[in-house]
Chains A and B, each alone.
Chain A
Amino acid sequence: MSKMEVVDLNAWFGTNQVLHGINVTAEQGSVTAIIGPSGCGKSTLIRCFNRMHEEIRGARVDGKVLFDGVDIYGDDIDPAAVRRRIGMVFQRANPFPTMSILNNAVAGLRLSDEKVSKSELHERGEAALRAAGLWDEVKDRLDQPGARLSGGQQQRLCIARALAVEPEVLLLDEPASALDPVSTLRIEELVGELKDRYTIVIVTHNMQQAARVSDWTLFMLFGEVVEFGPTTKIFTSPDDQRTDDYVTGRFG
């Protein structure tokens, strides 16, 4: 069974339908990249993976998103519980600017209902910062505000914050688009390190990034899936001419 499976998903903003009959799966221990030109619906799709889409006024969804076989849009499902198990990191690093580095890492834990002791908070903060590849760079200044970190470090801090609540799936919405090449590479390496333990879905504008980090690639156009397949196939011999035209830069 796939870790996540999207079945006949449609999504709207008001009366404007932005996703049309999407079907896609994300396998445990793999990275799935979503690519496509601006406005094709890739960010909307990834936001449907953890019920973030419906947070926008007038936005709605129909179809199923199965997580371990259970529809996260089921009647008795709590969206907050979904988001704890399916974490998300956004395009712009958004640490709490005045909160310390350590407190940023464990912010999700503190806000949850879970009762966690101070020593356990520190432990889980350290584990998350280590997993995000940031520990060695910040261990001597955990009390400093998160905003003091560089852009790349701030983004890894946000990844640590997402990891601290111990999710099973990590959604990354253009996590490196605002970063310099070295920080970008660091995030890409991190994705490679994390994929054994998490199921990762990444939206990216950078096709070479999709080629480098992902095992599966989904190409979208006008809110529809054009092609979904192994990344090597998408970037060497895709089935659909539109995929070929897009990845070779003939449009988009």
Chain B
Amino acid sequence: MTESRQRFHDELSSLEHEVLEMGELAANAVARSVHALVAHDSAEAEAVVRDDDAVDGRYLDIEQRTFQTLALQTPVAADLRLVSAIIHSSLHLERIGDQAVNVAKLHLLSKDLPGSDTLRRQLGEMGDLVVSMVRTAMEAFATRNLQLCQTLPVMDDPVDRLNRATHLEALKLADDPSALDWGMHMNLAARALERVGDNAVDIAEQVSFLVTGEFREFTDASHVVQT
């Protein structure tokens, strides 16, 4: 292999490494935001909002470098699929970071309102599930593990169920306007966590494309769900 091609492949490896690190940053932000919400830790919530700059910085750096790589090295075949997976995954991770910020801000906005322990427990459970999904998707990326990718939609099912359950739980607070106000904030937090799960599934789809060269959606959201 020529020296310039070697440099190109080193750059691809470095970009992939940065995406994997970004994955851990984003997963960690989600875990901390949910912990802040469940444990009533406002200082932690503020830290999550502040620290999102690190995730965004990674995203911008990855985007700029992949853009340069496309322009200067015209990657093809496995290299092209890796570049594509890096671009898509980093965008999904940036969104996951934003959802962590949403959860943290929702806590800060509603921290003085009366709440429900059941709903907090459900959100804590959702948080654990989606953080585990993000880490699983990133592990599948690092190890090019197709089987691991395919576990993501299965992991997503209980997240969707919990999301619906939080809605019903919030409705129980309808008699007390303040508690209902809190419940509506938590509904949005649940929605943010549900989106994190979807983004993790999307990353797994990208990894699956990277490995097989065939793109397919793991889940089809384009039909009406009976509840």
Q: Output the residue of B9, B212, B213 with the most chain A CB within 10 A.
A: B213
For the complex, is B76 an interface residue (Cβ under 8 Å from A)? Answer: yes
Q: How far is the CB of A248 from chain B (nearest CB, A)?
A: 5
> Which of B75, B212, B213, B214 is close to A248, meaning CB atoms less than 8 Å apart?
B75
For the complex, is B77 an interface residue (Cβ under 8 Å from A)? Answer: yes
For the complex, is A207 an interface residue (Cβ under 8 Å from B)? Answer: yes
For the complex, is B223 an interface residue (Cβ under 8 Å from A)? Answer: no
B80 and A236 within 8 A (CB): yes
**Which residues of A have CB within 8 Å of B76?**
207, 211, 235-236, 247-248
**Which residues of B have CB within 8 Å of A235?**
76-77, 80
**Which residues of A have CB within 8 Å of B213?**
236-237
* Chain B interface size range: 10 to 19
For the complex, is A119 an interface residue (Cβ under 8 Å from B)? Answer: no
A248 and B81 within 8 A (CB): no
0/1 string, A209-252, CB within 8 A of B gives 1: 00100000000000000000000001111100001100111110
List which B58-104 residues lie within 8 A (CB) of chain A.
Answer: 74-81
For the complex, is A117 an interface residue (Cβ under 8 Å from B)? Answer: no
**Which residues of A have CB within 8 Å of B77?**
234-238, 243-244, 247-248
0/1 string, B182-217, CB within 8 A of A gives 1: 000000000000000000000000000000111000
For the complex, is A208 an interface residue (Cβ under 8 Å from B)? Answer: yes
B2 and A248 within 8 A (CB): no
Q: Output the residue of B1, B77, B212, B213 with the most chain A CB within 10 A.
A: B77
B81 and A249 within 8 A (CB): no
**Which residues of B have CB within 8 Å of A238?**
77
**Which residues of B have CB within 8 Å of A251?**
1
For the complex, is B8 an interface residue (Cβ under 8 Å from A)? Answer: yes
Q: How far is the CB of A69 from chain B (nearest CB, A)?
A: 34
A249 and B80 within 8 A (CB): no
**Which residues of A have CB within 8 Å of B1?**
249-251
For the complex, is B5 an interface residue (Cβ under 8 Å from A)? Answer: yes
CA distance A244 to B79 in the complex (A): 9
B79 and A248 within 8 A (CB): yes
**Which residues of A have CB within 8 Å of B212?**
237
Q: Output the residue of A208, A234, A238, A250 with the most chain B CB within 10 A.
A: A250
CA distance A207 to B75 in the complex (A): 11
Q: How far is the CB of B15 from chain A (nearest CB, A)?
A: 15
CB-CB nearest 10 A-B residue pairs:
A237-B213, A249-B5, A235-B76, A244-B77, A248-B79, A247-B76, A247-B77, A244-B78, A248-B77, A250-B1
The interface of chain B, by Cβ under 8 A from chain A, is 1-2, 5, 8-9, 74-81, 212-214
8 A-B contact pairs sorted by A residue (CB < 8 Å):
A207-B76, A234-B77, A235-B76, A236-B76, A236-B81, A244-B77, A250-B5, A251-B1
Seed contacts A235-B80, A250-B1; 9 additional CB < 8 Å A-B pairs? A207-B76, A236-B77, A236-B81, A237-B77, A243-B77, A244-B77, A244-B78, A248-B75, A249-B5
